[in-house]
Amino acid sequence: MVSPLVAVLLIFLVLPIVLIVIVSFWRATEFSIIPAFEFDNYAFLFGSPVTYTVFFNTFKYALITWACTLVIGFTVAYYLAFHIRTLTWQIALFLLCTIPFWTSNIIRMISWIPFLGRNGIANSTLMSWGVIDEPIEWLLFSDFAVILAFVHLYTLFMVVPIFNTMMRIDKALIEAARDAGANGAQILWNVIIPLTKPGIMIGTIFVVTLVMGDFITVRFMSGSQSANVGRLISNDIALLQYPSASATAIVLLLTVLITIGILLRFVDIRKEL
Amino acid sequence: MTKFTHRNGLSRRTLLKGAASTAIAAGSTTLGAPMLWAQNIKDVTLRQFGTGVSNLNDVANKVQEDLGFTLEMTALDTDSVTQRAATQPNSFDIADIEYFICKKVWAAGNLQAMDTSKIDNYDKIAGTFRSGLLTPESTIAQGTAPHTVGFTSGPNGTDFVAEESGWMTLIPTIYNADTLGIRPDLIGRPISNWSELLNPEFKGKASILDISSIGIMDMAMVVESMGEYTYPDKGNMTKEEIDLTIGIFTEAKRNGQFRAFWKSFDESVNLMASGEVVIQSMWSPAITAVKSQGIPCVYQPLEEGYRSWGGGLGISAALSGIELDAAYEYINWYLSGWVGGYLMRQGYYSAVPETSKEFMSADEWGFWYEGKAAKGDIVSPTGDKLAGAGEVRDGGSFLDRMGSVVCWNSVMDENQYMVRKWNEFIAA
């Protein structure tokens, strides 16, 4: 008897991936795909210097975004969990964090464009304050803009799991640490951070996979000038090169799986939960 | 999976519709007698998709009013249009596509050839789409010129034929001559060559469109204008020529020449209107959209000439019976002038200029088609003022503009190689 969960996973997860693997060995012309078994797509992928640049870019975005969301997310969660005393206020402020998520991802992202532009609010404000004389060009259509949008979009995914684990830390542990003479920094480093590791790890997995799989943020915020792996795939699909897109997708999938595998080495989520 | 569908293949849709319409269709195989099914045609819904340029809600409303049936419109970007035409034949009845897209997707068999004897205004269609000659003295520009992919050998043809065979792949509707758009107020000096796009003076303020089949042609115009290379045929480059062309642009990109690339119409409007970009590849109505915000913008005629494109309506291979009749009815209506006038007043050209003239004022016709100075305000179909008395259209008359076309949007023999190189350019 196959359990329902296994059946669901087989149909909606394993089967599509198997199909993608199969198609990645096919051949494509401009308007049709031809079943075949050849390594051309992979050969082209690994033979092109662009692939390496693009994968490097993808990791760069993931790493910087991760670092920023971790710092911001941890701080917000810490404040909510340890500085807000009443549960009511904790819930109220937590809900406040989620309000921006009532609008769509794309709207939140695009709203940065008029803000950061050459004649945008940021530049004109800075100029009227006399901080700068010339508009800052790299605010928009740059890696800075891409990462800013990522951080804005995905910080909540860091806040939620970290907040969740922090709420479950026994307050008596902190009191005990203080009684034993630890100062604030020592409590943070030796008690709170080790105990919130599972939350950090779950947040990390969310952020890393979201950033590595994204293509639309990179397209809009870089003004189509930068590429990550997702854009490579979406360009291929737009040009009907499904086999080549599949091959790229498989390589991306493996890369993300390896990354997560390494991450999970650091923390045994199952044990900690 | 090998081929996406076969021409004239039976779908569930046609089978269901078949029973209902055979009797009627048998009685009225010619289009001359639409009144026979005047009641039924009201139930017909035609699903049209295409790029934003001509998928206008005003057209759908007018169809409802004039013809009585429903037209559903989906506007997509150029790549998505190609993709849908090639892979999702059951998702549309009418394909509003460009000729170079037709060259890519025709062989997939998702569109059916159209009988020109059922097209009332066939004889009035501009020469560009039939013989390829704008005037008897014209030379044919490089690239995928519409007449080269406009005809097929017969009702089930998958090939292209040179002569007017009586079976058209697309019924032409719209075309224009494209050039660079500029912000004269931010540039402050005359621009007269394509090479200005890569002029370091505009570093960080230039843009090009990220649609490979069109972008590569703009690139070729720039490369020729810079004097770097003269192509034997811009519309069909060799691998070396593609490398050279994209190489020059990749270097410019690395040097920070471009502010952004755009893929959809509104992106180009925003880039220009916000002043992020002062010179870029642009489409005519995008200029109109910038101007209607009160921002100066010129569709700059350049010494080297124009890059041109043409679009038309294709019918899904799955269409038959009353829906096929409705599609012909719609296409005949399309060419009968109202849409043509609407498109002309946006700055495009209608494939049947004569009929469009009846739907334009003499002043509008003079301004848009004949290149004469406007006598009064020229307004867009949506009511925005585009030009005042005394102003002249950028580039002049129809013959001046279409007569200076040097290449058409293209699909090359080395298309796949070009696409890969294009991807590298974007990722570089």
Shared domain for B127 and B248, answered yes or no, is: no
The per-residue pLDDT for range A211-264, each reduced to its tens digit, is 999 999 999 999 888 889 998 898 888 777 889 899 999 999 999 999 999 988
Whether chain A has a CB inside 8 Å of the CB on B76: the answer is no
Residues B165 and B211 in one domain: no
Which residues in chain A are contacts of B274 at CB distance < 8 A?
114, 117-120
pLDDT at position A273 is 62
Domain housing A230: 49-272
At B88-133, the pLDDT tens digits run 888 999 999 999 888 888 888 899 999 999 999 999 998 889 888 8
Contact criterion met (CB < 8 Å) for B204 and A231: no
Q: Indicate if B38 and B169 belong to the same structural domain.
A: yes
Q: How far apart are CA A210 and CA A204, in angstroms?
A: 10
> Which among A113, A140, A216, A225 is the top mutation candidate for probing chain B, defined by the most B β-carbons within 10 Å of its own β-carbon?
A225
The answer on pLDDT for B6 being more than 50 is no
SS3 B324: helix
Confidence band for B33, pLDDT divided at 50, 70 and 90: very low
Sign of CA dihedral A189, A194, A196, A200: positive
Q: Which residues of A touch B100 (CB under 8 A)?
A: none
Interface test with B, best of A140, A146, A224, A236 (most B CBs within 10 A): A224
pLDDT in tens, B130-179: 888 888 878 888 888 999 999 999 888 888 998 889 999 999 999 999 99
- For residue A25, being part of any structural domain is answered with no
Question: The domain that contains A80 carries what CATH number?
Answer: 1.10.3720.10
pLDDT of residue B352: 92
* Same domain, yes or no: B99 and B244: no
For residue B424, pLDDT over 90 is answered with: no
Q: What is the pLDDT of residue B172?
A: 93
A8 part of a folded domain: no
Ranges A17-26, B68-77, B267-276, B354-363: which has the least confidence: B68-77
Q: Is the pLDDT of residue B420 over 90?
A: no
pLDDT grade, residue B21 (50/70/90)? Answer: very low
Residue B375 inside a domain? The answer is no
B39: pLDDT strictly greater than 90: no
Q: Amino acid identity of B256?
A: G
How much is the average pLDDT of B272-289? 90
| Residue B303 and residue B315 in one domain | no
pLDDT of residue B26: 40
Residue B58 exposure: Cα atoms within 13 Å on the Cβ side: 14
- Rounded distance between C-alpha atoms, residue B359 and residue B20, angstroms: 37
Per the domain annotation, does B276 fall within a domain? yes
Whether the CB of B411 is below 8 Å from some CB of chain A: the reply is yes
Give how far A155 is from chain B: nearest CA, Å. Answer: 27
Per DSSP, the three-state class of A158 is helix
**Amino acid B5: pLDDT:** 41
Q: What is the CATH number of the domain that holds B63?
A: 3.40.190.10
Mean pLDDT, rounded, for B185-200: 94
Residue A17 has a CB neighbour count (10 Å cut-off) of 12
- Is the pLDDT at B57 greater than 50? The verdict is yes
Judge if B198 and B273 occupy the same domain: yes
Position B24 scores a pLDDT of 41
Which of B322, B340, B357 corresponds to the end of one domain?
B357
Are B262 and B127 contained in the same domain? no
Mind telling me how many Å the CA of A31 is from chain B's nearest CA?
A: 6
In a domain, A177, yes or no: yes
Q: Does residue A104 sit within a domain? A: yes
Over residues B71-91, the mean pLDDT reads: 86
A114–B4 C-beta distance less than 8 A: no
Report the b/e string of A25-60 with b at 16+ CB within 10 A: bbebebbbbeeeeeeebbeebeebebbeebbebbbe
Last residue of a domain, one of B317, B339, B357: B357
For residues B159 and B136, membership in a common domain is answered with yes
Are B86 and A31 within 8 A, CB to CB?
A: yes
Report the percentage of chain A scoring pLDDT > 90.
60
Task: Please give the average per-residue pLDDT across A172-181, as a whole number.
Answer: 92
For residue A238, give the nearest of B4, B80, B428 by CB distance. Answer: B80
Partner-chain contact A32 B2, CB within 8 Å? yes
Task: Identify which of B262, B276, B415 has the shortest CB distance to residue A118.
Answer: B276
Q: Which of A239, A241, A248 is the mutation pick for testing B, counting most B CBs within 10 A?
A: A239
Set of chain B residues whose Cβ sits within 8 Å of the Cβ of A222? 260
B385 located within any domain: no
Domain boundary among B357, B378, B396: B357
Q: What is the pLDDT of residues B201-216, one digit of tens each?
A: 999 999 999 888 899 9
Residue A178, domain member (yes or no): yes
Task: Identify from B51, B149, B274 which residue to disrupt to test chain A contact, counting A C-beta atoms within 10 A and taking the largest count.
Answer: B274
d(CA B58, CA B381): 9
Q: What is the average pLDDT across B193-197?
A: 95
Which of 106-125 (B) contact A at CB < 8 A? 107-108
What tokens does A196 get?
A: 């919130």
- B372-401: pLDDT as tens digits: 999 999 988 888 888 889 989 988 999 999
Q: Which chain A residue lies closest to B109 (C-alpha atoms)?
A: A31
- Structural domain for B191, as ranges: 179-307+406-427
A259 within a domain of the structure (yes/no): yes
- Tell me how many degrees the CA angle B169-B171-B175 measures, rounded to the nearest 5: 115
Report how many domains make up chain A.
1
Q: Are residues B163 and B199 in the same domain?
A: no
Question: Is B1 within a domain?
Answer: no
Lowest-confidence pick of B2-11, B135-144, B268-277: B2-11
B242 located within any domain? yes
Alpha-carbon distance of A19 to B195, in angstroms, equals 47
Q: Are residues B43 and B144 in the same domain?
A: yes
Which of B1, B104, B212 lies nearest to residue A35, judging by beta carbons? B1
Supply the DSSP string of A114-135, one letter for each residue: HHHSTTSHHHHHHHHTTS-SS-
Stretch among A19-33, A244-258, B203-217, B325-339 having the lowest mean pLDDT = A19-33
- Six-digit token string for A23: 């198609």
Q: Estimate to the nearest angstrom the gap between the alpha carbon of B181 and the chain centroid.
A: 17
Q: How many Cβ atoms sit within 10 Å of the Cβ of residue B255?
A: 12
Residue B201 CB coordination number (10 Å): 12
Structure-block tokens of residue B316: 């899904």
- Whether residue A183 lies inside any domain: the answer is yes
CA dist., res. A169 & res. A194, Å (int): 11
**Residue B156 shares a structural domain with residue B249:** no
Residues B357 and B121: their CA atoms lie apart, in Å, by 14
Same domain as B332, residue B302: no
**Could you tell me which of B8, B10, B40 has the C-alpha nearest to residue B25?**
B40
B2 and A35: CB-CB below 8 Å? yes
Q: Which chain A residue's Cα is nearest to B213?
A: A239
Residue numbers of B between 231 and 290 with CB closer than 8 Å to A? 253, 258-263, 270-271, 274-276
Q: Is residue B195 part of a domain?
A: yes
Instruction: Please tell me if residue B416 touches chain A, with a CB cutoff of 8 Å.
Output: yes
Domain assignment of residue A5, yes or no = no
Interatomic CA distance for residues A202 and A200, integer angstroms: 6
Q: How many domains does chain B have?
A: 2
- Residue B254 exposed, middle or buried by CB count within 10 Å (0-12, 13-18, 19+): exposed
Q: Do the domain assignments include residue B151?
A: yes
